[in-house]
Amino acid sequence: MLMAVMGLSIPLWPLSGKAAPVSEYRVKAAFVYNFAKFVEWPTGALPPAPFVIGILGQDPFGMEIEVLDGKTLRNRDLVVIRSDTVEELMNSDVLFISASMKGRLTQVMERLNHRPVLTVSDSPGFAQGGVMINLYTQANKIRFEINPRIAERAGLKISSHLLRLARIVAE
């Protein structure tokens, strides 16, 4: 059931030549949204304000993530905010860190300083560099790896269901 929710069985390219390919970043936007459903934040960490998905650095999603804007998540209206500086995204509940931040990843993670922010990326090595969940492609399917220790340090509890589907990595 969870695999269907997460879209793990959706190939990026059609099996027949007739259907249009599913956009990689549309699938990744769905993953980001669904990850938040399988993470528990510390008591009091989610204020009665909009649920913010921040995108740090060059936005790879384009309009694909706009379908999330205005949805409800954890009984809060969801908004998507983009910025090139982590300071402008400190109130994010989920922070997608783009590949363009590779040279500044260490500084970004230090600035977050174990705040209860679910960090997500799709860049090789980012999970080992401190990002909690990293998306990758394998056999034309989107998969994910999780660094549970980083999440624990930030006070986030990732569902055992999600952990079972992930490749577990360490720092």
Q: What is the pLDDT of residues 139-154, one digit of tens each?
A: 989 999 999 999 999 9
d(CA 105, CA 110): 9
Instruction: Domain count for the chain, please give it.
Output: 1
Enumerate the β-bridge partners of residue 137: 142
Q: What is the CATH number of the domain that holds 100?
A: 3.40.50
Name the residue range of residue 132's domain. 2-168
Q: Is the pLDDT of residue 14 over 80?
A: no
Residue type present at position 139: A
Residue 9 or 167, more confident:
167
